[in-house]
A = this chain, B = another copy of it.
Amino acid sequence: MTYPDCQELLLSEANGILTVTLNRPHKRNAMNERLVDELTGVFSAIEDNRDVRAVVLRGAGGNFCAGGDISGMHDRSVGDEAAAAKAMWEFNRNFGRMVTQVNQAPQAVIALLEGVVLGGGLGLACISDVAIADAGAKMGMPETGLGIIPAQIAPFVVARIGITAARRLALLGDWVDGAEAKALGIAHYVTDGTAAMDAELASVLKRLGKTAPGANALTKKLLLSVGKVEHEELLDQAADWFAEALGSEEGIEGTKAFVEKRKPSWAEGA
């Protein structure tokens, strides 16, 4: 598998698991334009590849991500306010496009939430399929304290934790730790320390290995269509996909293995 050349990300792949590490530890992995473009490129590269079963998203140096790094943008703006405003618009909007894409990735996306998980970093956390939070993580939306707004992440945060919790977090600028993140539905698991997080990740990947890659991709697409497509139309579509999955290689192998009380082919190593 060939990946785009990356400067702000570290990539490593093993056993169908791609680990993507945001690698700007001096900025607590705040995302600049290049990092956002690289994430887009990586997820585009694996879009049609079912050999990559899962993507693990994490940050280098003990932090997940401090949000958007607007420091570079400010320099550019000297002398041309309109151009600066346009550049900020594009930077912001482009981040939202990337999060929308990662949300819909056919792979299972697993986020490891350590240290700061702020603003855009929280947005990224909110579109993971499985999130493991360190007990000591600090998550929140600090935007309103800076006179700005959690713009591109709003829909993803509301989808994740509901409008009621989102109002409180955004309007008070509150930070939550790992346990509260689990209670709010940001994370699925809370662990304490690196070893415990690694163990939880291994357990998640083991269970993931028992499920069929194609069926998982289709299931994720279906779940994300709920509320976007009219109810009866969605159920018609779901029945199409059900018949398709049942008649696919995976469906035939999976139901056969079930009857024969053995592991299906994709789960042999799991």
A168 near B210: Cβ-Cβ < 8 Å:
no
Number of copies of this kind of chain in the complex:
3
A197 vs chain B, min Cβ distance (A): 16
- Residues of chain B contacted by A88 (CB below 8 angstroms): 242-243, 246
Is A167 a contact of B236 with CB atoms below 8 Å?
no
* A238 engages B129 (CB within 8 Å): no
Q: How far is the CA of A143 from the CA of B220 in the complex (A)?
A: 12
Q: How far is the CB of A17 from chain B (nearest CB, A)?
A: 14
- Restricting to A213-270, which residues have a CB under 8 Å from any CB of B? 214-216, 218-220, 222-227, 231-232, 234-236, 238-243, 245-255, 257-258, 264, 266-267
How many residues does chain A have at the interface if contact means C-beta atoms less than 8 Å apart? 89
Cβ–Cβ contact B215 & A89, under 8 A: no
Known contacts A158-B227, A231-B155, A248-B147: does B93 contact A220 (CB below 8 Å)?
Answer: no
- CB of A151 closer than 8 Å to a CB of B: yes
Cβ B171 vs Cβ A129 within 8 A: yes
Contact yes or no, A149 B222, CB < 8 A:
yes
Contacts of A2 in B (CB 8 A): none
- Interface check A60, CB cutoff 8 A: no
Contact B92 A242 (CB under 8 A): yes
Give the nearest-CB partner of A210 in chain B: B145
Query: Cα distance A129–B148 when bound, in Å?
Result: 18
Complex formed: what's the CA distance from A167 to B224 in Å? 9
A62 CB to nearest chain B CB (Å): 22
A232 and B99 alpha carbons, distance in the complex (Å): 12
- Give A contacts to B, CB under 8 Å: 70, 74, 81, 85-86, 88-89, 92-93, 96-97, 100, 108, 129-130, 143-152, 154-155, 158-160, 162-168, 170-174, 185, 188, 204, 207-208, 210-212, 214-216, 218-220, 222-227, 231-232, 234-236, 238-243, 245-255, 257-258, 264, 266-267
20 A-B residue pairs with Cβ-Cβ distance under 8 Å, sorted by A, are A85-B243, A85-B247, A88-B243, A93-B239, A108-B172, A129-B168, A130-B171, A145-B212, A147-B251, A150-B222, A151-B238, A151-B239, A151-B242, A151-B245, A154-B225, A155-B234, A158-B226, A160-B163, A162-B162, A167-B220
